[in-house]
């Protein structure tokens, strides 16, 4: 399987376990790796045969703008669920980082992998 990726998508989000964090926006970093068969697009050279990464980024930005999660784990899970469903992809890895959440660190976060349920 091929991978279509987006690295270091910076989004302002309401996220955090503390009351003051639920009143402000903090910048998070989102990295996406999405499984996709790129052969049809490679042969046709047609955007309609690709996984539209701009659409994926816009879906994530829109969802995050409306969300108020406490945990990065919850936000990462919701991003994965959204893209698996809306983009019809078979597999995704979401890495979500929250810069400076721990004193002395550049960033903390989670990385999850999910597959679409086939029924």
Note the pLDDT of residue 5.
98
CA distance 119 to 116: 9
CATH number for the domain harbouring residue 25? 3.30.1130.10
Quote the number of domains for the chain.
1
End-to-end Cα, the chain, rounded Å: 20
Range(s) of the domain holding residue 95: 2-115
Note the pLDDT of residue 102.
84
HSE value, Cβ hemisphere, 13 Å, CA-based, for 60: 29
| Local mean pLDDT, 10-residue blocks, the chain (119 residues) | 96 95 95 97 95 97 96 98 96 94 89 89
Our answer to whether residue 61 is catalytic in this structure is no
HSE value, Cβ hemisphere, 13 Å, CA-based, for 32: 32
Phi, psi for 82 (deg, rounded to 5): -60, -50
């Amino acid at each position: 399987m091929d991978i279509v990726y987006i690295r270091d998508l910076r989004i302002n989000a309401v996220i955090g376990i503390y009351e003051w964090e639920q009143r402000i926006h903090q910048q998070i970093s989102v990295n996406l790796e999405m499984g996709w068969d790129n052969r049809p697009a490679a042969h046709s050279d047609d955007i309609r045969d690709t996984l539209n990464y701009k659409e994926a980024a816009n879906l994530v930005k829109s969802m995050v703008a409306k969300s108020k999660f406490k945990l990065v784990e919850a936000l990462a899970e919701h991003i994965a669920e959204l893209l698996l469903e809306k983009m019809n992809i078979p597999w995704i890895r979401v890495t979500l980082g929250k810069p400076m959440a721990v004193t002395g660190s550049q960033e903390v976060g989670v990385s999850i992998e999910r597959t679409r349920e086939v029924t």
